[in-house]
Structures are given as C-alpha cells and as structure tokens.
Amino acid sequence: MTNIDNLIIAKKKFKSRLIVGTGKYKNMRECAKSVKLSGAEIVTVAVRRVNIIDKKKPLLMDYIDPKKITYLPNTAGCFTSEEALRTLRLAREIGGWKLVKLEVLGDKKTLFPDMIETLKSTEVLSKEGFKVMVYCTDDPLMAKRLENCGASAIMPLAAPIGSGLGIQNQTNIKIIRSQTNLPLIIDAGLGQASDATVAMELGCDGVLVNTAIAKAKDPFKMAVAMKFAVLAGRQSYLSGRINKSIYGSASSPEKGRI
C-alpha cells in the first residue's frame, strides 16, 4: 500500500482503513493486543462508558497510547440529541477532541439511529467546530442531508449493531458512494472478514468493526483477518473488476490452436 492511498478524514491522513471499537472485550489487555494486530490507527471510545476519573480502575489510555492511536469519542448509549451534544462537549472539555463519532439511537431493541435527532445534532456540532463522523441508516437521502449539514464522514450501518449479518443492502451503499465525496465508512453489523472485503469492494473508504473482533472465539486471529480483508477489498476495488456476463469467455486464445 502506498501513501497516496491514505484514508483522509477531516484533512487527517491514516494508512489503515480499519477502525476498531474498544468495547465488549474480556479485558483491556485483549483489546489493546487486538487493536495492535489489526493495524488500526483509530479506535472508538464510548465516552459515557469509559473510566476517566477513578484511578483505582484500569484506564484505556494505559493500554492504548492516545499519542500513537487516534481516539474517536462516540456517543454510544445516547437516545436524544441533548444527550449526544452533552457527551461530545464533555469529551472536548476533557481531552480536546474535535474529531468525534455521533450516534443517536432510536430504540434499545434494534439500535437503529434516530435520523431526525441525528441530523439535528450533526448541524449543531458542525457549527460548534466539531468534525463529525455520523452513524446513520443506509438511506441515500438521509446520507445526503448529513453531508449538507456539515458531516465529515458518513457511516451507514451494514446491519443492526452487533448482529454479524453483514451488508444487507448493497444497492443503497452503492448509491451513497456515487453521490458523495465524503469518506464513506461501514459501521455496524459486520460479522466476518469477508464482510469487510465486500464493503471495500463496494467503494467504501473504510469499515468500523467491534463485535466481530471482540466476540470472536479468537479475537487476535479475527483482528488480523480483518486487517487483510480491508486491504484485499480496497485493492480489488481500485483494480477495476471485470464486467459480469451470463456467458463464458475462454481464457486461452482462439488463434494458434493445434
């Protein structure tokens, strides 16, 4: 991979196109090793669930160096715009973070995003100087509205969070890709390495994976698998696939046959 193929988000360059979540691991050591093996340069951190104050409990910063890995504070667990705004403003006060991930959930069962609250939050945060990466539905119209509201990256779900179902609507992802120049990152629902490859082959700029790695029987092997799946998918997309045909096409030349 060359430097010209960097992932660029809010004018910041990243060599890896894999973003890794830090939740659901057995412990922080397992999380840190998985992140290292994945090659990820960005990790998401749920501000509402992270230990910031109690020095007696383990701190994520002791295991994943924020000077080497970009922390992406997110609003996991927020169900209203007010909760999300308060959470990210707190993150900015604590760590000075402006590159953030916004997610405003609609209900506890599906964990689908509430797009009305999400749009409202994106507009406010953008005006306040935040660089907002937004978890959203795979609705192309909503994705375009997010772009118009000032989003820095669009992050449609592949399937419900933690479901492992893979991309359920490839057509919508293709449409979103065709209508935006913003970074397009698949967020939520991937279950295995091949899902990440498919996402990249659709033209996505990256993928965010948490449960698929953290809850795998061997998180370390899955972290490595995701790393190479993203690389393979990206190279496949850039190479330009052959046209599909219902008929066969001989590989050997017709001329010069014995």
- CA-nearest of 60, 12, 13, 19 to 39 is 19
Residue 26 appears among annotated catalytic residues: no
CA 151 to chain centre: 14
User: How far is the C-alpha of 232 from the C-alpha of 257, rounded, in Å?
Assistant: 36
Torsion of CA 144, 150, 151, 154, to 10 degrees: 10
User: How far is the C-alpha of 96 from the C-alpha of 71, rounded, in Å?
Assistant: 11
Active-site position among 101, 120, 131, 227: 101
CA atoms within 13 A on the CB side of 115: 15
User: How far is the C-alpha of 100 from the C-alpha of 162, rounded, in Å?
Assistant: 21
Please identify every residue annotated as catalytic. Answer: 101
